[in-house]
Amino acid sequence: MGFIEQNEKERKDFVFKWAEYVRTHDDKDWSRQQNVIINSALKSANMTREQFFKMKKETNYVKY
Amino acid sequence: MKFIDKRTIEINRELSDLDRFTIDFINILSKYTDYVIVSGYVAILLGRARASEDIDVIIKKIDFQNFTRLYNELKKNYFYCLNAEKEKTVYSYLKDNLAVRFAKIDTMIPNIEMKWTRNEFDKIALEKTIKVKIQKDLLRISHLELQIAFKEEILKSPKDLDDANHIREVAKDYLDEKLIQKYKEMLHGFY
């Protein structure tokens, strides 16, 4: 198995392992852990309107 | 997470900043039109370990008068439209089947990507919703079978396939595999 395939398999395995954890644990337990990822990602996100629409390829319908 | 019945899920989760933002917006939107949340946030709400910069929402078509009332209430609650300021322009984008985005003032992320029903599948998503009860709030998400089919059959990016796998695992005892296959066949002929 090549590096890319191995990487994909490990990622997929983790997705199932985490989903199983969510399924079998208390909501407060898994959501507390999930929120660390979500809240930190939102806090570190910092871009201008132009950068955002360019990233989304939606620059043709912005009017300000 | 409790699957109460085919159309109701109860999640006693701690709210993330993304959840609070979504609930704030939906509590206003739901006063004016039917809506359904689709795509990545559905998987995130069900526990997927990732963030997202936007939340995809499909709404039933509304007239300009009703839209203006919605837009004014959003503005009163510190939301703004990223695409344009004048409600006529924002409404014209919706009429042209384009998505418009709303965020809280002085921010870009997270934002709501809102569009109205554009095809048969948007209509199915809007008609067949699941109520997700989170503490005292309620969010309407698309049928999980339709989300899985769309992600596996049409989108197919690693992120979307991971979302589909996550939903398959957390809802494994409740999913209708035949329905997923039926949606896939319908989608295959459509896109």
Express each pLDDT in A5-50 by its tens digit.
Answer: 888 899 999 999 999 999 999 999 999 999 999 999 988 877 787 8
Confidence of residue A3 (pLDDT cuts 50, 70, 90): confident
Confidence of residue B78 (pLDDT cuts 50, 70, 90): very high
pLDDT beyond 70 at A64: no
> Is residue B142 within 8 Å of residue B129, measured between CB atoms?
yes
Express each pLDDT in B16-43 by its tens digit.
Answer: 999 999 999 999 999 999 999 999 999 9
Picking from B142, B97, B114, the residue whose alpha carbon sits closest to that of residue B57 is B114
pLDDT beyond 80 at B91: yes
Chain A residues 8-47 within an 8 A CB cutoff of chain B: 8, 11-12, 15-16, 18-20, 22-23, 26-28, 30-35, 37-39, 41-42, 45, 47
Of B18, B96, B168, the CB nearest to A42: B18
Contacts of B8 (CB under 8 A, 6+ apart): B130, B131, B132, B133
pLDDT of B53: 92
Q: Which of A30-39, A49-58, B39-48, B95-104 has the lowest mean pLDDT?
A: A49-58
Structure-token pair, residue B191 = 């896109």
Highest mean predicted confidence (pLDDT) among A46-60, B17-31, B177-191: B17-31
Give the residue extent of every domain in chain B.
2-190
Of A8, A38, A49, the CB nearest to B82: A49
pLDDT beyond 90 at B86: yes
Q: Which residues of B touch A47 (CB under 8 A)?
A: 108-109
Q: Which residues of B touch A34 (CB under 8 A)?
A: 16, 44, 47-49
Distance CA B183, CA A60 (A): 32
Of B47, B89, B168, the CB nearest to A34: B47
pLDDT of B44: 98
Question: What ipTM was reported for this prediction?
Answer: 0.91
Residue contact B14–A31, C-beta within 8 A: yes
Of 1.10.1370.40, 3.40.50.920, 3.90.25.10, 3.30.460.40, which CATH number belongs to B2-190?
3.30.460.40
pLDDT beyond 80 at B190: no
